Structure formats: C-alpha cells, structure tokens
Structure 1
C-alpha cells in the first residue's frame, strides 16, 4: 500500500526519536527538522506556560524556514508543585529529581503547536498527564538509572520502558502524551490544518 500524498509537506519540528516514532503511527509521510530554540524558562514562568511557549516557538522556528509546510512543534515539562523539572542531563540531577518525586503526583504538561505560514493556520493544545510515583528507595532509583539512563527525558523516567515500574498510576485523556506527543490532539490539529486522517 502506497503512502498518502499530502497537500503540503509535513514536518515534525523535533529531533526526538520518541516523538518521531509516535508520529509514524499516524501513517503520514513527514520529515524532521531541528528547531534550534532556547529552552531556558523565563523568570517565574509556570510549567504549563513554558511548555506551550516552547511548543509554539519550535513550530514557528521551523515554519519560518519552511513556510509552505505544516509544522508540528511539541514540548514537555514536568511540574512538581509548580516547579518545572526539565531533562536532567546527568546522573546526579536524575537522582535528585526522582528523590523529589517519590511518593508524589507529578503533572507532565505536553504542549503541541501546529503552524502553516502559507495558509495562516496556527493552533495549540496541551495535554496534562498526572503521574503518581511509588515511594522509591534510593537503591531502586540507582538501579533504574543505571539500566535505562533516562537523562534526556523530562522527569527522569521513561514510562514506555522500565520507568513504568516506578509508577503507581497514570491519569490522562491522551495516552501517548506522557511519551512526548499527544496523538489524539495531534490528529485533531492536523485535520484542522487540512490533512485527511482516518
């Protein structure tokens, strides 16, 4: 079966392999492009606001280089009592994040933006996922990090991998949002941009 022909090119404004794999599930041809956006939070910026701003900035940055394309931007920020937890980057920061989250509920805000400069289309949405972590021991945290090394994931846990064993519950109306791209919302915004999906 051949791939569908799109009225405009579709570009995922991300180099994340997780987002790429998720978008492939919609069976639309697409390219990827690095957005090159500064992800530094603004002073006092709330986690959900940060996620929305960065998703829009990523889509916009790629759309400026590809004005005829439909561009998807996405960003995820973990929110622990109003404090943003980003990608840890190092083992030490991942340990600190998981210690702070053990026995707690963390909200992962996964924001989405779809932009097409040529048509003037711009839409945004955000999926909030509530994640309750088990009361993890220091030993469990160390064992997990040494096996999965989730240093490129907001909140230091990959729910699609071994990280699921760290959790007590996940509550969401868009189940792929926690992995990095809320596909229910993505499909909705892409239909709004003029693409045909089943």
Structure 2
C-alpha cells in the first residue's frame, strides 16, 4: 500500500481519518482558497480539494494524498469560516430556522499513477429557531471561528439542529469517510 498523506492542518480531519485505523501522515498545503468568479459551490470545493492534494504531490511521490474542503450554503449564499465572534453570531442568526447545506469536496490523488478521484458529498441540516442570547452562549462555549457555518457538529453544534439529512454524517465534520473508503478501495487499500 502506498503511504497515506492527509493534505490538511485540520485537527478535525485528522481525528476522522484516524477512525479508519490506517497509518497516515499529514501536511498543510499552501493554496489560494478564494472562490473564482461565478464558481458554483460544488465546483469550488471539488477544485480546492484537488488543489490541496496536488500542492503536496511534488514532495510526496508514491503516496495517496487526501484533499478535502468544505463550505456551507444558505440559499444561494456560500458561508465561510467566520474568524470573529461577531461574524459567527451573525452567521448563526442568519441560519436560524433555515436549511444549511454543507458541501464537502474530497480528492484522492495517487502520485504514482497521477490518477485523482474527486467528489462532493452534501449534508443538509435544518437549524432550530435561535435567539441572540443562545447563539452568543454557544459561540463563547465552542469558539467555532474556524468552522464553516460557525458550528462544530462534533460538539455542542448538534444542539442547534432541528434535523439532519445526508448519506455520510462525517462529511458534516469535514472528511466524508464513507466516500473516502470507496476511493481507497478503488486504489487497492484494504480498510480494516
């Protein structure tokens, strides 16, 4: 089996990948993550996932490199990472009572063959009606400033959901393991 490399600095993605009990290393890719003009959200996350994997290919020949990227979409608007307390509160209040779709792009690049599998896994949550007080309490407690849509589904963020719908709940956290296992299997990797 070729060595696995996760092209991410995200602790959340490392924790998810560790669930598969496969040895892997990780490195942070340096790419421009800005959206192209009029680029649809699905294409954006697929492009960025692929670019993250490709950014590490030169220094990691004979590897399987996993790239992933995620955005949240509210209506037609892409919601990114808030980075500030106030922006996190604004995002959550805008999402109150609404459906938010999380799109997670996934790429698996085999640097030995040059083959790259790319996909996008959607996951939709319906948010509860949220008061400003509840939102501020949540943001203070979780500090979801580096999370698309301003919440951590693996923590208290789940308390903000009315319901969820999708085929792979791990995609909500940022690395769709069900789809990744399919891709790894196509590359001949035996997942325990």
* TM-score category of the 2 structures, normalised to the smaller one: over 0.9
Q: Which of 33, 52, 57 is the equivalent residue of 1:58?
A: 52
Partner in structure 1 of residue 37 of structure 2: 43
Give the secondary structure class of the aligned counterpart of 1:26: coil
1:97-136 pair list within 5 angstroms: 97-136=91-130
Structure 2: distance between partners of 1:64 and 1:133? 42
The reply to whether residue 69 of structure 1 matches residue 63 of structure 2 is: yes
Task: Give CA-to-partner distance per residue, 1:115-135, whole Å, 9 cap, x none.
Answer: 012122210111100111111
Partner in structure 2 of residue 141 of structure 1: 135
Gaps of 5+ in 1: 1-6
Structure 2: distance between partners of 1:103 and 1:169? 11
- With the length of structure 1 as denominator, give the TM-score of the two structures: 0.94
Structure 1: distance between partners of 2:59 and 2:93? 41
Structure 1: distance between partners of 2:128 and 2:135? 11
Partner in structure 1 of residue 166 of structure 2: 172
Q: CA RMSD in A?
A: 0.9
Task: Give CA-to-partner distance per residue, 1:153-182, whole Å, 9 cap, x none.
Answer: 000011110111111011110121101100
Runs of 4+ in 1 over 3 A off after TM superposition: none
- With the length of structure 2 as denominator, give the TM-score of the two structures: 0.97
Task: Give CA-to-partner distance per residue, 1:59-117, whole Å, 9 cap, x none.
Answer: 11112221211000000110111211111111111111111111100100011000012
- The answer as to whether partners of 2:65 and 2:111 remain within 8 angstroms in 1 is no
Q: How far did 1:194 drift?
A: 2.1
Gaps of 5+ in 2: none
Structure 2: distance between partners of 1:54 and 1:20? 18
